[in-house]
Amino acid sequence: MAINLGRGALSIATNFSVQDVRQLQKRLRAIEPELRTQFMRDIKEIAFVPNKAIQGAIPVSPPLSGFGGLSRVSWGQGKPARSTTIRFRTQSSSKSLNTTLLAIRVNSVATSIADMAGRSGRSIGAGYRGSGFTREFVRRHRDGSTSLVRRRTTASAGRKFIHSLNQETGNSASRFAWKSVERDLPALQSRVRQIVQKYERIANYRMVKG
């Protein structure tokens, strides 16, 4: 198992296949629908503590002045900076048939950028789809009016932005999510495995018992 960190989401990957987990859910539903529901609740409950840790690691104030203002990528606009969602997932990645089962999504665009900027090290300054500009977004002005704007991106500006984030936060990407849960990874992996195995035993026992 491992924790995979993509843009805006932290996922706990497992060594259980997608088909195995989906089949388990079908068996639980056939025995008693509430069993499947409780299985999902128990899996999601594992994320409660790391979710709080992630939220606590995200700064209330913007890490850089550039995150100020009223645009889509401004700090706290659209979604609060610390807004997260715990998701139960039975989806495989493009490289594996294993399912993640559990994901914690960071909902704020600004927080995701501040957390992950520079992680891949590729395409710095390339802009949206290599256009050399940011994706078009709505800028909300203080008088209440709005306008659609794009910003030009350059490699030097991108590297400066990443360097400033690293300096200000004291971390490289991931600056918040991964750093706050890394030490708890073995325990999280163990709990996911235990919950799945617990419900496999329940399903087997109930099916035999009839």
The pLDDT confidence band at residue 210, using thresholds 50, 70 and 90, is low
pLDDT tens-place string over residues 189-198: 889 889 999 9
pLDDT tens-place string over residues 5-33: 445 567 766 677 888 889 999 999 999 99
pLDDT of residue 121: 60
3-state secondary structure of 40: helix
- 20-39 burial: b if 16+ Cβ within 10 Å, else e: bbeebbebbeebeeebbeeb
Rounded CA-CA distance 6/141 in Å is 32
- Which of the two residues, 71 and 93, has the higher pLDDT score? 71
pLDDT tens-place string over residues 78-132: 899 999 999 888 876 555 667 778 888 899 989 988 998 887 665 565 666 667 7
pLDDT of residue 202: 95
Q: What is the mean pLDDT of the chain?
A: 83
pLDDT of residue 3: 45
Rounded CA-CA distance 168/206 in Å is 55
The pLDDT confidence band at residue 51, using thresholds 50, 70 and 90, is very high
pLDDT of residue 9: 63
Largest CA distance in the chain: 69
The pLDDT confidence band at residue 206, using thresholds 50, 70 and 90, is confident
pLDDT of residue 153: 73
Question: In Å, what is the CA distance from 122 to each residue of 3, 118, 125, 126, 155?
Answer: 21, 8, 9, 9, 10
pLDDT of residue 57: 94
The mean pLDDT value for 143-166 works out to: 83
Residue 69 has pLDDT above 70, yes or no: yes
The mean pLDDT value for 44-57 works out to: 94
pLDDT of residue 132: 72
Tell me the range of 31-35, 97-101, 148-152, 186-190 where mean pLDDT is highest.
Answer: 31-35
